[in-house]
Structure 1
């Protein structure tokens, strides 16, 4: 079987034995796991990485072309990994900061430091803003048209994806090998399409949020930024409400899974198990939700209404500081920022719809390959690349799959740092703390969702098996939409990674849960049962005892 090898001019490569990691890279290029590790948490398999890598790279480039930043010549996947927007190291996703700096420098209304802060959750000491107006005339023509037409286009695309998922899942169990491959290709194309729109949303919302933060700073209103980014009406609100409705028998399980079954533990990886395949993580949470009545302030609808009120009051407070000539501009900015934040979560849900269909088609294809003696079990299909599957292999690939599975298993126990240059220093996954932090210890991060609460720590590594009680402070490395059921019972959320526009803070603000993100090592320092005070307005977590 012929297997292509991607090699850069500097020697970085992905090979037949290990198609999901970059082995060499220019030591001057800066990388980060911020944000991308949230979109694609965990470790890629061969199928997962080859399913998303090229479409994602082209989506980045198409997005910047639509805005007017890139030319037609940029709409190709570069041979050099140093020129790509993202890749994988030890199977884990990482973004190329140098490429994002390049784009930020060509784009009005943002900068390298703004992109680092809003998209990746931190700004390096070495970051320098070097903006140029060279592409501004083109952007002045293309960007407004793209941005203004985006919300309606995004809504329509998301609605089509929901209908497509429903139709395709009903047919998968009757598909032959060729049909499964065609459906994987279809899902891959749709993934690229929704990612183009989603990345426009992410980039524009970053610029909008940065401008809003600037207004708040000039008005000298500390803590207002998080309130302005609350109550935007994200897709996660619907998940939270439907979980509550399921617990109160206002919605049956079949309808819930039809609406939200593409979520689940490790949902950002193609080999993950969705709620549609195993609803146990959902069912295990229902008992806790049954004690939340419709008039309880913790009920999702009441939470959403309260956060809308919080945002409206914050917007009025900011508007009052502006002169009469600027008030309309301030109101327009706050409303537009809220709309784009809601679209960010909708975009994530959109690409997860494509994953769920591709996942189902891959499992069906795996069954066919087991029947022909190519694989040992159907899940082994995730350790073959897209190209390898398209060759419709006939020989026994169990030895190749065993080797790749071993690599994947080993990498589950490894971690990359938040940022680095060249190749990353790789460490063993941190163990939970064995000693209590002394009372009075303060961990600092990003003030992501306002509020001050006290409660016992619950460190969570796997949301599928976590036992989080009402009132616990949820402490973790990062979150994705599959964690929403835990947000419903947690009194606060503390994450190691992320910024104001990361998933965890957005959901926390929607549900009115105090959140401190970007502590870097909170999940390694805090221990189950320790009582802490979380101040989401100042970005601190204080150990009480």
Structure 2
């Protein structure tokens, strides 16, 4: 049995090359929480193919490199104790042969973590192929990305309308269609992530050379994103500008642990958003806190920062730099659109599997419809035969146990599992500080609210949201929060992008801030310096 197949069976690695380094940064943001067997086997191959086909389309890879490796060490990602981790060494290899980026830039921007021993060893051997393919791809991709995202929105609503009429064969066929669409949008999403990182790195380098590094967060704000629309539409729903059905049609694919196939979307349970509407009703249209006004303020902050940036440049560089900044904004918005795109495919797959689970439970094959998430994708495609109850019970027990653990931010070889309740992490004393990435400018003081589940937490206005990682289902809390602190992620991660769009300070990549900052402590978040200090 190959090590890849073993992971599909156990959702864990029993052994791994001790020389390789892994990280939960970024990948944990895309796929937070613990995988079920169906969740992983459904998307593990499409995800690996997406990485490789993305690099092929850019000229970084040759066709011979587009395959699924037998050994985990050769893959871009895998699972440890049911949780996703990315292979830093594979990404470093890519960065070393790609123009406009480096191993250091990739580690910092994608994962929020750079190892002290990191050395950039760039090679030009693939430059001819890249320079042949990449420019045309970069010019065409935004339009293609917009078109595919619009098609996925239409496809989702059409397929959800027919779910209840499908039998087993129809549901499996729909699951396969959703899987193919997941891979297609993920390829584009990964290209966007890579290109936007390179563009942002170029802007960042120029700013630092001019001693204007403090403008970076503002330069990268006001770009517009799918989350802007979620925030505005939550406010509009609260003010009865349209009804719940329209909101669910637009954004119902979001929800708690939306990056897991077994997660529950707002379409299935809208309670997490309905419970917060009373607060949003207190925000009048003319208030600076209204989402549209926040977005406009961030556009103004970006324009002001850009003007200062351009004034510091010699005249002959201003036009090209202005174009570069506009390109960064466009591609940053596409990052969030791509994430929404693959979540659209997840929502259809999720609905199909819950329908299939209900049918199997009615037939007595499963004890509970939710047990379907502990079967594999191949099993479902082949048809369930024989009694699966013992296997399901074993997998469910392992899943529940893994919920009690988390992974470190980065490690070499096998990770040391950490108690999810933060056992072992020393709580910060008064004047104690954690440091991370200065991701969204501003300084704010307030009560820390350490949140594990956004659906079960209420924030008061001005509370500072402290968490491991965010995804789009956390946007309702961003509208209330005075600032955001995350354990994982870098400048271009989801939490910082949304924080900048809403104009609230953010420090990300603290590694264990949510386990060291006590819930209820009064803290100062400095989004300019990248620090969080306990005041009381």
Q: Given the two structures, how large is their TM-score scaled by the length of structure 2?
A: 0.98
Residue 163 in structure 1 maps to residue 154 in structure 2? yes
Query: Residues of 2 paired with 1:114 and 1:33: CA distance?
Result: 17
Higher alpha-carbon deviation: 102-111 or 527-536: 527-536
Query: Residues of 1 paired with 2:525 and 2:101: CA distance?
Result: 31
Residue 350 of structure 2: aligned partner: 359
Aligned match of 2:7 in 2, 9, 14?
Answer: 14
Residue 27 of structure 1: aligned partner: 18
Deviations 1:449-479 (A, max 9, x none): 0011111111100001011111101111110
Aligned match of 2:284 in 286, 289, 293?
Answer: 293
Residue 383 in structure 1 maps to residue 374 in structure 2? yes
- SS of the equivalent of 1:456 reads strand
Deviations 1:423-467 (A, max 9, x none): 211122134899973322222111000011111111100001011
Matches for 1:235-314 after TM superposition, within 5 Å: 235-314=226-305
Higher alpha-carbon deviation: 156-165 or 74-83: 74-83
Residue 338 of structure 2: aligned partner: 347
Deviations 1:159-187 (A, max 9, x none): 00000000000000111000000001000
Whether the aligned pair in 1 keeps the contact of 2:2 and 2:71 (CA below 8 Å) is: no
Offset of residue 30 of structure 1: 1.1
Deviations 1:27-47 (A, max 9, x none): 111111110000000000001
Offset of residue 313 of structure 1: 1.0
Whether the aligned pair in 2 keeps the contact of 1:434 and 1:527 (CA below 8 Å) is: no
CA RMSD of aligned residues (A): 1.4
Whether the aligned pair in 2 keeps the contact of 1:6 and 1:15 (CA below 8 Å) is: no
Offset of residue 204 of structure 1: 0.6
Whether the aligned pair in 1 keeps the contact of 2:7 and 2:79 (CA below 8 Å) is: no
Offset of residue 410 of structure 1: 0.4
Offset of residue 133 of structure 1: 0.4
Query: Residues of 2 paired with 1:187 and 1:421: CA distance?
Result: 34
- SS of the equivalent of 2:454 reads coil
Residue 42 in structure 1 maps to residue 33 in structure 2? yes
Whether the aligned pair in 2 keeps the contact of 1:121 and 1:518 (CA below 8 Å) is: yes
- SS of the equivalent of 2:257 reads coil
Aligned match of 2:392 in 398, 401, 415?
Answer: 401
- SS of the equivalent of 2:286 reads coil
Query: Residues of 1 paired with 2:353 and 2:268: CA distance?
Result: 13
Residue 218 in structure 1 maps to residue 214 in structure 2? no
Residue 132 of structure 1: aligned partner: 123
Deviations 1:472-507 (A, max 9, x none): 011111101110000000001011111101100000
Offset of residue 237 of structure 1: 0.2
Deviations 1:131-174 (A, max 9, x none): 10001011111000111111000000000000000000000011
Query: Residues of 2 paired with 1:353 and 1:432: CA distance?
Result: 36
Residue 185 of structure 1: aligned partner: 176
Residue 70 of structure 2: aligned partner: 79
Deviations 1:320-356 (A, max 9, x none): 1111111111101100001000000000000000000
Query: Residues of 2 paired with 1:434 and 1:395: CA distance?
Result: 46
Query: Residues of 1 paired with 2:447 and 2:501: CA distance?
Result: 22
Query: Residues of 2 paired with 1:493 and 1:539: CA distance?
Result: 11
Residue 58 of structure 1: aligned partner: 49
Offset of residue 6 of structure 1: 4.0
- SS of the equivalent of 2:315 reads coil
Offset of residue 371 of structure 1: 2.1
Whether the aligned pair in 2 keeps the contact of 1:433 and 1:525 (CA below 8 Å) is: no
Whether the aligned pair in 1 keeps the contact of 2:104 and 2:120 (CA below 8 Å) is: yes
Offset of residue 390 of structure 1: 1.2
Query: Residues of 2 paired with 1:275 and 1:432: CA distance?
Result: 32
Query: Residues of 2 paired with 1:53 and 1:23: CA distance?
Result: 18
Higher alpha-carbon deviation: 534-543 or 343-352: 534-543
Whether the aligned pair in 1 keeps the contact of 2:467 and 2:486 (CA below 8 Å) is: yes
Whether the aligned pair in 1 keeps the contact of 2:25 and 2:488 (CA below 8 Å) is: yes
Matches for 1:474-485 after TM superposition, within 5 Å: 474-485=465-476
Query: Residues of 1 paired with 2:465 and 2:480: CA distance?
Result: 9
Query: Residues of 2 paired with 1:436 and 1:80: CA distance?
Result: 40
- SS of the equivalent of 1:223 reads helix
Aligned match of 1:537 in 511, 528, 532?
Answer: 528
- SS of the equivalent of 1:143 reads helix
Matches for 1:463-478 after TM superposition, within 5 Å: 463-478=454-469
Structure 1: where are the runs of 5+ without partners? Answer: none
Query: Residues of 2 paired with 1:124 and 1:493: CA distance?
Result: 25
- SS of the equivalent of 1:454 reads strand
Residue 315 in structure 1 maps to residue 306 in structure 2? yes
Residue 515 of structure 1: aligned partner: 506
Aligned match of 2:91 in 100, 104, 116?
Answer: 100
Q: Given the two structures, how large is their TM-score scaled by the length of structure 1?
A: 0.96
Matches for 1:332-343 after TM superposition, within 5 Å: 332-343=323-334
Whether the aligned pair in 1 keeps the contact of 2:8 and 2:37 (CA below 8 Å) is: no
Whether the aligned pair in 2 keeps the contact of 1:496 and 1:519 (CA below 8 Å) is: yes
Query: Residues of 1 paired with 2:359 and 2:231: CA distance?
Result: 37
Number of aligned positions between the proteins: 536
Whether the aligned pair in 2 keeps the contact of 1:370 and 1:377 (CA below 8 Å) is: yes
Whether the aligned pair in 2 keeps the contact of 1:432 and 1:523 (CA below 8 Å) is: no
Offset of residue 374 of structure 1: 1.6
Structure 2: where are the runs of 5+ without partners? Answer: none
Query: Residues of 1 paired with 2:21 and 2:530: CA distance?
Result: 27
